[in-house]
Amino acid sequence: MTFTELGLNARMVSRLGALGLTKPTPIQEKAIPQALQGRDILGIAQTGTGKTAAFGIPLIVALSKQQERPAPHSARGLVLAPTRELAGQIVQSLQGMTADLRITLVVGGKSINVQAEKLARGTDILVATPGRLIDLMDRRAIDLGRTRFLVLDEADQMLDIGFIHALRRIAPKLSKDRQTMMFSATMPKAMAELSRDYLDKPVRVEVSPPGRVADKVSHSVHFVAKDRKQDLLIELLRGHRDDRALVFSRTKHGAERLMKHLDKAGFAATSIHGNKSQGQRDRAIAAFKAGSVRVLVATDVAARGIDIPDVGHVYNYDLPNVPENYVHRIGRTARAGHSGRAIAFCAADEVAELKAIEKVLGTRVEIAGGRPWEAMKAAPKSPQKRRTRQRSAGRSDRLAA
């Protein structure tokens, strides 16, 4: 199958070719023809499989056919993303696909006055995080009444309580006569309710079972005492100093402490988390992409927004308290046809998290080191309260993003 066979014109095919996109991925092959017909789409696919182009291409084609100019303070199409990093990545991808449409980014951490000035001219495609969009709506800087295309990217993360309430404020402001596309890497039960609320007779396109790890990722777990995690991480990082490594910490304070420890150990390391300004986060990711920094320590704010093909290793220094995030985290490696390794650390008090991850995956995670029965023996008898506290802490960190 080629992009031409999907119904795209020669100009679009040429632009995609210039981006190195010569053959549609499975999710693109299934979603694009349906979206070009104006159908609502519910797309499920692993991270790194080309979801942005799957919704971006039909969105650009539809807007280009209409040949309208956006009215002041309006947006013809709206793409919502849960994090600043992902929103920025979407804008870069869309800009590569068209030079004719005005694409505007609004996220927290940037001047809201500057963003309001840009929106005063109107825009063809608005890419936004929900919180900042609501701030602009409250200022009457944007009117979504003419918006006839809505995309929810990484919709499962939108289910976070801070985002779902925002979505309920945003969606009713859009044109009732609209096309909606919802894309996600996982399909928790609550997604069905979300799709019923916002999609009209959607076509479901799925190229991998929810929770499936990308084929070219090898992933394993080390059972290790909490106070031995830093030493183990340093030992493993020394084995591949020339490779980029992404290290996930559960909290922003933990990420910053770990980054400083790695820096003292002689690694070129930086960090991104909710306490960092947008400028600091942008510079950290730019340095990581350029290779001047080889180790990036991050909270889940980065799990869906980093698209760097040659991240060789992902470390789950702390296991995520939301099991689906394990798939998103390790999806930061083995991108664009590359292979990669994901290594998790499991302390005695994280056994419940590991069990939840394995339940989502439908399989056991390979053991790379340590003795799991010792961790099982030391695990707390009632982890539910601890997980609830962790979820609250994690939610605060994500909303700070």
209: three-class secondary structure by DSSP: coil
Position 56 scores a pLDDT of 97
Q: Per-residue pLDDT tens for 47-88?
A: 677 899 999 999 999 999 988 899 999 999 999 998 888 899
pLDDT 10s digits, 243-252 = 999 999 999 9
Using CA atoms, how far apart are residues 29 and 306, in angstroms rounded to an integer?
23
CB 128 within 8 A of CB 105: yes
pLDDT exceeds 80 at position 162: no
Judge whether 5 lies within some domain. Answer: no
d(CA 139, CA 224): 51
pLDDT, residue 315, reads 96
**Of 307, 346, 390, 114, which is closest to residue 220 (Cα–Cα)?**
346
CATH for 176: 3.40.50.300
DSSP assignment of 288-351 equals HHHTS--EEEE-GGGTTT---TTEEEEEESS--SSTHHHHHHHTTSS-TT--EEEEEEE-GGGH
Which domain does 24 fall in, by range? 10-206
Give the chain's domain count: 2
Top pLDDT among 119 and 361 is at 119
In the structure encoding, which two tokens stand for residue 67, read together?
């040949």
- Tell me, yes or no, whether 109 and 79 share the same domain: yes
Cβ contacts of 128 within 8 Å, gap of 6 or more? 78, 79, 80, 81, 87, 105, 106, 107
Verify that 44 and 141 share a domain, yes or no. yes
Q: Is residue 316 part of a domain?
A: yes
DSSP reduced 3-state for 347: coil
Residue 3 lies in a domain: no
Instruction: Record the tokens describing residue 100, joined without a space.
Output: 């004719």
Tell whether 362 is covered by a domain.
yes
Q: For residue 354, what are its two tokens?
A: 């590991």
